[in-house]
Structure 1
Amino acid sequence: MGFGQRIGNTLRVPSRGGRRAVVILLVFMLAGATGSAVALSGPSLVSGLGLGGGGQAAAALPAPVPVLGPLPADAPLPTPEGLSATLGPLAGAALLGDFAGLVIDPASGATLWQRSPGEALIPGSVSKVVTAAAALLTLDSTKRLYTRVVAGPTPDSVVLVGGGDPTLTALPAGRDSVYPQPSRLDDLAAAVGKALPGQRVRTVYVDTSRYTGPVLAKGWLPADVPGGYVAPIVPLMLDGGRADPTLQDGPRVAQPALAAGQALAEKLGADPGAVSETVAAPDAKVLGSVASAPVGDLVEHLMRTSDNVLAEALAREVAIARGGDPSFTGAAEQVVAALAQAGFDPSGVRLVDGSGLSTADRVSPKLIGALLSAAAAPAQGARDTQFLRPILTGLPVAGGDGTLDDRFDTARSTDGRGVVRAKTGTLTGVSSLAGVVTDTDGRLLVFALMSNGESPASVRPQLDAIAAALSRCGCR
Structure 2
Amino acid sequence: MSRHRRVSGLVALLLLAVSPTGAGGAPLPGVREGLDLPAARVARPVLLAPPGTAVDVPALRARVGPLLGDNDLGRHRGFIVYDLSNDRALWTVGQDRSYIPASTTKLFTALAALETIPADTRFATKVLQSATSSAPVPRLVLVGGGDPLLAGEEPAPASGTLPRPATLSALVRETVRALRAEGTRRVSIGYDASLFAGPAVNPTWERDYIPGDVVSPISALWVDQGLGPAETGERVPDPALSAAQQFGAALAAQGIRIVGSPVAVIAGEADTELARVESPALAQIVQYVLEVSDNEGAEVLLRHVALATGRTASFLGGAAAVREVLAGLGVPQDGVVLYDGSGLSRANRVTLAALVEIFRRSADPERSLLRGVVTDLPVAGFTGSLAYRFTEPASAAGRGVARAKTGTLSGVHALAGTTVDVDGTELAFVAIADRVPLRDTLDAREQLDRIVATLTVCGCAASP
Check whether TM > 0.5.
yes
Residue equivalent to 1:469: 454
- Measured in 2, the distance between the counterparts of 1:81 and 1:475 equals 9
Percent of residue pairs bearing the same amino acid type: 36
Q: Residue 66 of structure 2 aligns to which amino acid in structure 1?
A: P
Find the partner of 2:245 among 262, 265, 273.
Answer: 262
Q: 1:332 to 1:99 in 2, by over 3 A?
A: same
Matched, 1:151 2:112: no
Matched, 1:123 2:117: no
| Cα displacement string for residues 416-441 of structure 1 (whole angstroms, at most 9, x for unaligned residues) | 11111110000011111001111111
Residue equivalent to 1:393: 375
On the 8 A contact 1:226/1:253 being kept in 2, the answer is no
Find the partner of 1:134 among 104, 109, 112.
Answer: 112
On the 8 A contact 2:154/2:165 being kept in 1, the answer is no
Find the partner of 2:362 among 357, 375, 378.
Answer: 375
Query: Unpaired segments of 5 or more residues in structure 2?
Result: 1-44
Residue equivalent to 1:229: 214
* Residue 457 of structure 1, CA deviation: 2.4
Q: 1:245 to 1:354 in 2, by over 3 A?
A: farther
1:222-301 mapped onto 2 (5 Å cutoff): 222-243=207-228, 251-269=234-252, 270-271=257-258, 274-301=261-288
- Measured in 2, the distance between the counterparts of 1:148 and 1:307 equals 24
On the 8 A contact 2:361/2:367 being kept in 1, the answer is no
- Measured in 2, the distance between the counterparts of 1:251 and 1:464 equals 33
On the 8 A contact 2:52/2:86 being kept in 1, the answer is no
- Tell me whether 295-304 or 116-125 shows the greater mean CA deviation: 116-125
Residue equivalent to 1:33: none
1:30-41 mapped onto 2 (5 Å cutoff): none
Greater C-alpha radius of gyration = 2
Matched, 1:346 2:333: yes
* Residue 387 of structure 1, CA deviation: 2.1
Find the partner of 1:72 among 32, 49, 58.
Answer: 49
On the 8 A contact 2:82/2:91 being kept in 1, the answer is yes
On the 8 A contact 2:186/2:259 being kept in 1, the answer is no
Find the partner of 1:437 among 419, 430, 453.
Answer: 419
TM-score, normalised via structure 2 length: 0.82
Q: 1:173 to 1:348 in 2, by over 3 A?
A: closer
Matched, 1:412 2:394: yes
Q: Residue 436 of structure 1 aligns to which amino acid in structure 2?
A: T
Residue equivalent to 1:403: 385
Q: 1:226 to 1:332 in 2, by over 3 A?
A: same
- Tell me whether 436-445 or 185-194 shows the greater mean CA deviation: 185-194
- Measured in 2, the distance between the counterparts of 1:431 and 1:116 equals 15
1:13-32 mapped onto 2 (5 Å cutoff): none
Q: Residue 442 of structure 1 aligns to which amino acid in structure 2?
A: G
On the 8 A contact 1:106/1:374 being kept in 2, the answer is no
On the 8 A contact 1:169/1:245 being kept in 2, the answer is no
Matched, 1:458 2:443: yes
Q: Residue 260 of structure 1 aligns to which amino acid in structure 2?
A: A
Q: 1:209 to 1:419 in 2, by over 3 A?
A: same
- Measured in 1, the distance between the counterparts of 2:352 and 2:231 equals 34
Q: 1:315 to 1:262 in 2, by over 3 A?
A: same
Q: Residue 92 of structure 1 aligns to which amino acid in structure 2?
A: G
TM-score, normalised via structure 1 length: 0.80
1:284-323 mapped onto 2 (5 Å cutoff): 284-323=271-310
Q: Residue 276 of structure 2 aligns to which amino acid in structure 1?
A: S
Q: 1:236 to 1:179 in 2, by over 3 A?
A: farther
Q: Residue 254 of structure 1 aligns to which amino acid in structure 2?
A: P
- Measured in 1, the distance between the counterparts of 2:174 and 2:115 equals 34
* Residue 406 of structure 1, CA deviation: 1.1
Find the partner of 2:168 among 180, 185, 209.
Answer: 185
On the 8 A contact 1:87/1:469 being kept in 2, the answer is yes
Q: Residue 65 of structure 2 aligns to which amino acid in structure 1?
A: G
C-alpha RMSD of the superposition: 2.2
Q: What secondary structure sits across from 1:202 in the alignment?
A: strand
On the 8 A contact 1:325/1:331 being kept in 2, the answer is yes
* Residue 226 of structure 1, CA deviation: 4.6
- Measured in 1, the distance between the counterparts of 2:360 and 2:229 equals 37
Q: 1:141 to 1:411 in 2, by over 3 A?
A: same
* Residue 177 of structure 1, CA deviation: 8.1
Q: Residue 331 of structure 2 aligns to which amino acid in structure 1?
A: F
Q: What secondary structure sits across from 2:127 in the alignment?
A: strand
Q: What secondary structure sits across from 2:274 in the alignment?
A: strand
Count of matched residue positions in the alignment of Structure 1 and Structure 2: 402
* Residue 260 of structure 1, CA deviation: 0.9
- Measured in 1, the distance between the counterparts of 2:46 and 2:357 equals 26
Query: Unpaired segments of 5 or more residues in structure 1?
Result: 1-67
| Cα displacement string for residues 152-205 of structure 1 (whole angstroms, at most 9, x for unaligned residues) | 324421010111102111214766584512111122222222333220243211
Matched, 1:101 2:84: no
